Amino acid sequence: MKKKYYKVLNTRLNKRSFAHGLNFYKLFWIFFIGSFLGVVVETLWCLIVQHKFEIRWGLIYGPFNPIYGFGALILTVCLSKISFLKDRWIFLICTVVGASFEYLCSLFQEFVFKTSSWDYSEVDYNFGGRTSILFAIFWGILGIIWLKIIYPKLYNIIEKISSKFGRTLTWLLFIYMILNMSISALAVWRQSQRALGVESNSLISEFLDQNYNDDFLKIMYPNMLIVK
């Protein structure tokens, strides 16, 4: 009897998706896809509003912006349990959470990397130039679209991926994103050091100076400014 029970249990566990619920695998895919979709949205926004094409990547290798990835993670985790609320409440929560997150990201970037990638000082009703009422509303709209339309479809797609393939692909992409985020962060940090007149004093800084100089980073991050 026990053998039969464990056999049935193992069969059910094997059929369960590798990304069941909000485990590590599901959270990574939310981050990964959110990072990509954020770049798509920013690129389209730039084309429609500013009538020009501009690289809006947050990382050096590939069209990904971790800010949107972490934003998607936060919205999903915070609101997954209250998706039953009416849209106006979800919109309000996404507005507050998104604007707060954007404000903190701006503070973090300036404090750690001595750089700034956006400044809303000239936008009405801004908060220290780091976010504004207008962009808070955009976060609310994006939150509704993500939670009500995009995430449910992504959830079903991810759940259908076979466990062995899904786990392998997840770990490969996870390593890729970690390396990508690390080299991108180091390159930006070294750029701020060069702007402050700090000479190269290690093999790592020499490598960064040779491969990720100011001209290259200006192309990758056209809106980023050094904060002295």
Residue 94 lies in a domain: yes
Is 10's pLDDT higher than 60?
A: no
Alpha-carbon distance 105 to 99, whole Å? 10
pLDDT at residue 1 is higher than 70: no
Number of domains in the chain: 1
What would the mean pLDDT of 123-142 be, rounded to a whole number?
Answer: 91
pLDDT band for 101, please (50, 70, 90 cuts): very high
46 in any annotated domain: yes
Tell me if 158 sits within 8 A of 26, measured CB to CB: yes
The answer to whether position 3 is within a domain reads no
**What is the model's pLDDT at position 122?**
87
Residue 26: per-residue pLDDT = 93
| Residue 180 is assigned to a structural domain of this protein | yes
Given this model, what pLDDT does residue 41 score?
87
**pLDDT tens-digit profile of 63-76?**
999 999 998 998 88
> Has residue 5 been placed in a domain?
no
Q: Classify residue 143: in a domain, yes or no.
A: yes
- When mean pLDDT is compared across 20-24, 56-60, 109-113, the lowest value belongs to 20-24
Domain limits at 87?
Answer: 19-226
pLDDT value at residue 102: 93
Selected residue with higher pLDDT from 19 and 104: 104
Pairing of the two strands 126-127 and 115-116: unpaired
pLDDT at 56: 83
At 15 the pLDDT is 58
pLDDT at 169: 95
Structural domain contains residue 11: no
**pLDDT tens sequence across 114-129:** 889 888 888 888 998 9
Give the model's pLDDT for residue 2: 41
Residue 49 resides in a domain? yes
pLDDT at site 170: 96
The greatest distance separating any two alpha carbons of the chain, rounded to the nearest whole angstrom, comes to: 74
**CA distance to 38, 49, 76, 94, 107, per residue, from 126 (Å):** 22, 19, 26, 17, 15
